[in-house]
């Protein structure tokens, strides 16, 4: 079955540094991958989608890479700010075709210290 | 403003007392789904609906029911809640349709349910 792994340990970095979060997946070749942000007690919010034929995608201070050979996506936040502190989830479409279902990783919590 | 709303946001109830959590979206999305989120288990899909009157089971459907009588509404029904259904619940909608890979999901604010 498909499996998504994100670092369960929280990532603590200093303000201004670049945060890099990892999403690994197995037993699967997804057509795309998504990243969401979730604040405590609130619903996830979509950030970026990257397709299998895209190596990299950017949105303001965010950058996502997608290596289909390594089966890995990296999520970067440059010039990080305390307001970036949150849990970040990666999500892949389910193996079950035509269900619209997304499989979510458990998320990595980022803490940006001033 | 495009949004998914859920009610109630917080609910404490007792075992066996039927309850309904409402969900509504104003984006004219055909696809809607319910998730529960538990520590260490992440987000798990309960049920989903691809259109009016079309619903299907997700990964953890036991103990839950849904209905989709209108495009905008997708209520989650717990006929006889049990303590193991204590969780944080999210409704989501997307513009997904089969063959079209644009399934960014828009989540509601969540409903924190406690079953005693």
Q: How do residues B30-64 score in pLDDT, each as one tens digit?
A: 999 999 999 888 899 999 999 999 999 999 999 99
Nearest chain B alpha carbon to A96? B58
Residue B47 carries which DSSP code? E
What separation, in Å, do the N-terminal and C-terminal C-alpha atoms of chain A show?
41
Residues of B in contact with A39 (CB under 8 A): none
**Which among B40, B98, B109 is the nearest to A43, CB-wise?**
B109
Classify residue B66 by burial, with Cβ atoms within 10 Å: 0-12, 13-18, 19+.
buried
For chain B, the farthest-separated pair of C-alpha atoms sits apart, in whole angstroms, at 43
Average pLDDT, chain B: 93
Written as six digits, the tokens of A65 are 């890479």
Contact between residue A10 and residue A111 where contact means Cβ atoms under 8 Å apart: yes
A45 touches chain B (CB under 8 A): yes
**Does B33 contact chain A (CB < 8 Å)?**
yes
User: Could you give the C-alpha distances from B49 to A27, A72, B43, B96, in angstroms and in order?
Assistant: 26, 30, 17, 11
Alpha helices, DSSP H only, in chain A? none
* pLDDT (0 to 100) of residue A57: 95
B70-97 per-position pLDDT tens digit: 999 999 999 999 999 999 999 999 987 7
Compute, in degrees rounded to 10, the torsion defined by CA atoms B60, B63, B69, B70: -50
Spatial separation of the C-alpha atoms in residues A50 and A31, rounded to whole Å: 9
User: Which residue is it, tokens 């007690």?
Assistant: A41
The CA-atom distances, in angstroms, between A16 and each of A39, A81, B64, B83, B109 are: 20, 6, 45, 44, 30
Per residue in B15-35, pLDDT (tens digit) is: 999 999 999 999 999 999 999
Q: Calculate how close chain B gets to A6, using CA atoms only, in Å.
A: 11
């Amino acid at each position: 079955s498909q499996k998504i792994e994100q670092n369960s340990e929280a990532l603590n970095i200093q303000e201004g540094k670049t945060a890099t979060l990892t999403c690994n997946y197995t037993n699967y070749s997804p057509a795309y991958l998504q990243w969401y942000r979730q604040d405590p007690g609130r619903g996830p919010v979509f950030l970026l989608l990257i397709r299998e034929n895209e190596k990299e995608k950017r949105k303001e201070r965010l950058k996502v890479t997608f290596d289909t050979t390594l089966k890995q996506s990296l999520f970067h936040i440059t010039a990080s700010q305390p307001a970036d502190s949150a849990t970040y989830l990666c999500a892949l479409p389910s193996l079950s075709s035509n269900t619209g279902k997304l499989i979510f990783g458990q998320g990595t919590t980022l803490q940006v210290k001033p | 403003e495009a949004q998914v709303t859920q009610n109630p946001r917080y609910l404490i109830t007792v075992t066996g007392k039927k309850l309904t959590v409402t969900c509504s979206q104003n984006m004219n999305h055909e696809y809607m789904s319910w998730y529960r989120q538990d520590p260490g288990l992440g987000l798990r899909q309960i049920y989903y609906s691809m259109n009016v009157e079309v619903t299907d089971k997700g990964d953890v459907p036991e103990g839950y029911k849904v209905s989709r009588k209108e495009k905008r509404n997708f209520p989650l029904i717990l006929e006889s809640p049990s303590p193991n259904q204590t969780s944080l619940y999210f409704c989501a909608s997307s513009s997904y349709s089969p063959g079209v890979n644009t399934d960014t999901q828009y989540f509601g604010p969540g409903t924190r349910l406690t079953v005693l």
